[in-house]
Structure 1
Amino acid sequence: MQHRIIVLGAGYAGAIAAGRLAKRLRRGDATVTLVNAEPDFVERVRMHQIAAGRDLTPRPFAEMFAGTGVALRIGRVTAVDVELKTVTVQGTEGTEELAYDTLVHALGSAWNPQGVPGTADHAHEIASRPGALRLRDRLAALAAGQSVVVVGGGLTGLEAATEFAEARPDLDIALAARGGLGDWLSPAGRRHVRKVCDRLGVTVHEHTAVTEVGAGHVTTAEGTSYPASVTVWTAGFAVHPLAAATALETDDTGRIVVDATMRSVSHPDVYAIGDAALVAGPGGKPLRMSCASGIPTAWQAADALAARLTGRKPPHTPLRYFNQCVSLGRKDGLIQYVTADDRAVRGVLTGRVAAVYKELVCKGAAWGVAHPTVGMPVRRHPATLRTEPAPAAAGGL
C-alpha cells in the first residue's frame, strides 16, 4: 500500500514540504496531498504591499505543482483526529474526510487581537490576503489628511507604516510601539529606521500600549486618545487553534512541541513546521514565527520523513539565523545582521541596496516554493519505501 502523507496548509512551509516530499519519494510508494483554503500561493511577507495598493503576480498551485505528483485539495480544515488519523476538510462541494499515515501540520498563524477591546470590531489585519484586500479598499477610500494608526512596532508594523506612508504621503500615518522604535536592532539599525520614519512623515508613539480600539480612535494605557480613521493591528500572531483542540502536545500558545526533526513528541506520525511548531533553535531558544524560520523547518521535516520512510538515518542541519530583512517602503530597507540565535550585531545594510536585497529574498522565497529541493544540502532518497519497521538506528516509523 502507498504511504499516505497529508500536508495541512500551503504557506511557505507547507508548500515547500509537500513539493520536497514528492521529489524525495517515489509515487508508487507514497502519495502527497496538500490541503489549503485558497487555490493560489500567498506571499504573506508582501501583505503590506497589497494593502498599500500594489498588485502581485498570481501564483496558482495548480500550475506550481503541475507534474510533481502533489495532489491538491482546496478547502478549509475543520477537524483533525490524531487517534483515528483523519482530517476533515470543508470544500466548495461539501465535507470530505481524508485518512493519513503521516500528517504534516503547517496551518501557520493569524493575527492576534490579544483580547484588546474593540480590536476585532474596528481594527484591520494584514496577516492574510483577505485582510490585506479589505484594508486596501479602506485605505483607498480615505481622503487626504485622514489618520492611520499602525499598532505594533515589530517587523510587520515597521514595514506596514513605512509602506503606507510612501504610497500615501497625503495621509497622517502613525506607529504605536509598546517599546522603543526598533529597540531589538543595533544602534545603526535604530538610527536608520528613525531616519526613514522622519523622512516619510511617520509619527512614532514609543512606549505606547494601545488598550482600546474605537471606531475613529485608539486609547493608550495612559488614557491618551489618538485619532485613527483606520487602525491596523500588527501586534503579534496567534497560531491556528486546531492543534490545541487535539491530543497533540502543545505549549500554552497552541504550538506543537516537536523534536529536532520537526516530529511531534507525543504523536510520531505527525510533523509540525512553520508557525505551528515550537522549535528549539540555538541555545534552546524557540524560533520566532517568520518565513525565515518556516522554510528551514519545512526542509528539515520533509527530509527527515523521507529518510525514515526509506530506512535511512534522518539528516539534521542545525537551524540558525543570519539576518533580519526589513522593507521600509519600495526604495529603502534595512538588513540587520544577527547572531545564530537572532540577536542583533553591529553590522547593517541600509538604503536602496538593502531594499533590493530584501526584494531578492522575497522573490527567492517564492521561487523556493516551486523548487522545493533547493535549500538544505541533503542526499536524495531513491530507495524503495520500507513497508516493515526500520531499525531504531535508522529512525524508522
Structure 2
Amino acid sequence: MTTTTHPRGHRIVIVGAGYAGMFAAVRTAHRTRRLGTRITLVNPSPRFTERLRMHQVATGQQLADHRIADLLAGTGVAFVQGRAVAIDTQARRVTVERTAPGAGDDDPAARGPEAVPYDTLVYALGSSTDATRVPGADVHAVTLNDPRTAHEFGTRLPALAAAGGRVTVVGGGLTGVEAAAELAESHPGLRVTLLSRGVPGSMMGTRARAYLDRTLARLGVTVRAGVEVTNVLPDAVELAGAEPVPSDLTLWTTGVRVSDLAARSGIETDARGLVVVDDRLRSVSHPEVYAIGDAAAVRQPWGQVHGTCQSGLPTAQHVADALARTLRGRAVRRFRYGYFHQPVSLGRRDAVIQFTYADDTPRRTYLRGRWAVRYKALVSASPVVIYRLSRRMNVTAVLSRGGRATR
C-alpha cells in the first residue's frame, strides 16, 4: 500500500508521553526531520514517568527526574503540557486543557481549553490500574498510577516498619510481585502480605516461578493465593469466605483501565476501550489516527498483544517509521511483534528473568540472581537511553526478527 501526501507542514499530534508516546515523538522527529513536519506532544505532566520503577518510588527510593522537555531537546517537537479532553475527528483537532502556563501565561486556567489541529493523530494515552471494581479500593488503597501518591505512600513506611506494621499488596501479577519484594527488602520491619486470585507469577515457567516463590519466602512475604478480595477498609482487606487481613497500608496493583477519550470521540474501540487498529496500527474507523502501546487492540497471528513497555516501544517504532514512509509516498509494512522475556525484580539484590516464545508463553530458559539483577537494571534503564540516542540516529527497540523487544 502506497499513500501520497504533502509532508511539508504536515501536523502530527501525539497524545500521551508514556513509554510509547515518548518514543513515537522522538523517533518520528528524527525520521521526518527533512520533511518539514510539525510535531506536537501533549501530556499533563512535565515529567516522564518510568512506570517500570514505580514500585521503587512506593518504597521511598529517589529516582532520576526526567523532564519531557529535556528528552525532546533538539528534536523540534513542541511540548504542550495539558490534558487531552476531546478529539474532533471531523475538524481534526484535539481539545487540550492546559495544566501549566504556556509562553506568556500566568494562569493556565484563565485561558480555557485550546484546540490543537492535526493531520495525523497518534493516540498513546496508555492504561492505569483500576481500583474501582472492588468497594473501598479507590478510597483506602494506593495505586502506582501517580508518582506523587506512590511517593507519599513511601514516606509512611519507615515509621510503620519501626512499629512492625502490616502492608498488604493486592494482585499477583508481575507488578504486585515486584512491589511486595521491594517493600519487604527495603523495610524489613514490615509484615508484608501478597494477595492473589491466582498463583503469583503464573505466566512464568515452573522453575522460574519456584525461584520467585523461594525469594518471596526468604524476604518474609506472606503469600495467599486463590483468594478473592471483596472490600478494602482503612485497616483491613476483606476476603470472600475467609477472615479479613489486617492492613495498615494497602497497595492495589490489579485490574487495568484505559481512557474513554477515544470512545467518546467516535473512534472505534473494543469492549475494553482499546482502539481497534489494522495491521499497520491505524484506527479501522479513522485511518488518520494511529494507536500505540496500551491504548491499542493489536492482533498478531498468535493472539492479541497485551500492554507492556516491552510491546509498547515496538508499536511506537512502527508508527514513526510508517509516518516517515507514508509522507515520502512509500509502502508501509505490516506490524509484526513477538514477546521475548518477562523480567521481574525481587528487590534490589535479586531478580528472575523468564525468556518466552513470541506469544509470551515461557521457554525453558530463565535467568536468576546476580546476572538477572544486572539484566533487569539494563532493561529498566533502556527506554530513556533509547530516547536520547534516537534524537540523532535510528535506534531500534527490536531485539530479533519478528518484533521481539525489550520490556
Aligned residue type for 2:332: P
Cα-to-partner distance string for 1:292-337 (whole Å, 9 max, x where unaligned): 0110110011111211111001134520111110001001001001
SS in 1 for 2:304: coil
- For 2:299, the equivalent position in structure 1 comes to 280
- For 2:173, the equivalent position in structure 1 comes to 154
- Displacement of 1:274 in angstroms is 0.6
Alignment counterpart, residue 26 of structure 1, candidates 30, 33, 39: 33
Q: What are the within-5 Å matches in structure 2 for residues 1-397 of structure 1?
A: 2-26=9-33, 29-91=36-98, 92=100, 93=108, 94=111, 95-142=113-160, 143-283=162-302, 285-316=303-334, 318-372=336-390, 373-375=394-396
Alignment partners' CA distance in 1, 2:228 and 2:266: 35
- Displacement of 1:141 in angstroms is 4.2
Cα-to-partner distance string for 1:206-258 (whole Å, 9 max, x where unaligned): 10111110010001122420001011000122112211212111011100011
SS in 1 for 2:322: helix
- Displacement of 1:376 in angstroms is 5.6
- Displacement of 1:264 in angstroms is 0.6
1:281–1:139 distance in 2 versus 1, CA, 3 Å: farther
Aligned residue type for 2:15: L
Tell whether the 8 Å contact from 1:274 to 1:294 is kept in structure 2 after alignment.
yes
Aligned residue type for 2:251: V
Aligned residue type for 1:335: I
Tell whether the 8 Å contact from 1:16 to 1:370 is kept in structure 2 after alignment.
no
Aligned residue type for 1:375: T
Alignment partners' CA distance in 2, 1:18 and 1:39: 15
- Displacement of 1:135 in angstroms is 1.7
Query: What TM-score does the superposition give when structure 1 sets the normalisation length?
Result: 0.92
Tell whether the 8 Å contact from 1:282 to 1:340 is kept in structure 2 after alignment.
no
Aligned residue type for 1:53: G
Identity level (%)? 45
- For 1:394, the equivalent position in structure 2 comes to none
- For 2:103, the equivalent position in structure 1 comes to none
SS in 2 for 1:352: helix
SS in 2 for 1:224: strand
- For 1:381, the equivalent position in structure 2 comes to none
> Over the residues paired in the alignment, what is the CA RMSD in angstroms?
1.4
Alignment partners' CA distance in 2, 1:173 and 1:31: 50
1:70–1:245 distance in 2 versus 1, CA, 3 Å: same
Aligned residue type for 1:99: P
Unaligned runs of 5+ in 1: 378-397
Alignment partners' CA distance in 2, 1:62 and 1:114: 33
- Displacement of 1:29 in angstroms is 2.4
Tell whether the 8 Å contact from 1:282 to 1:319 is kept in structure 2 after alignment.
no
Unaligned runs of 5+ in 2: 1-7, 101-107, 399-407
Query: What TM-score does the superposition give when structure 2 sets the normalisation length?
Result: 0.89
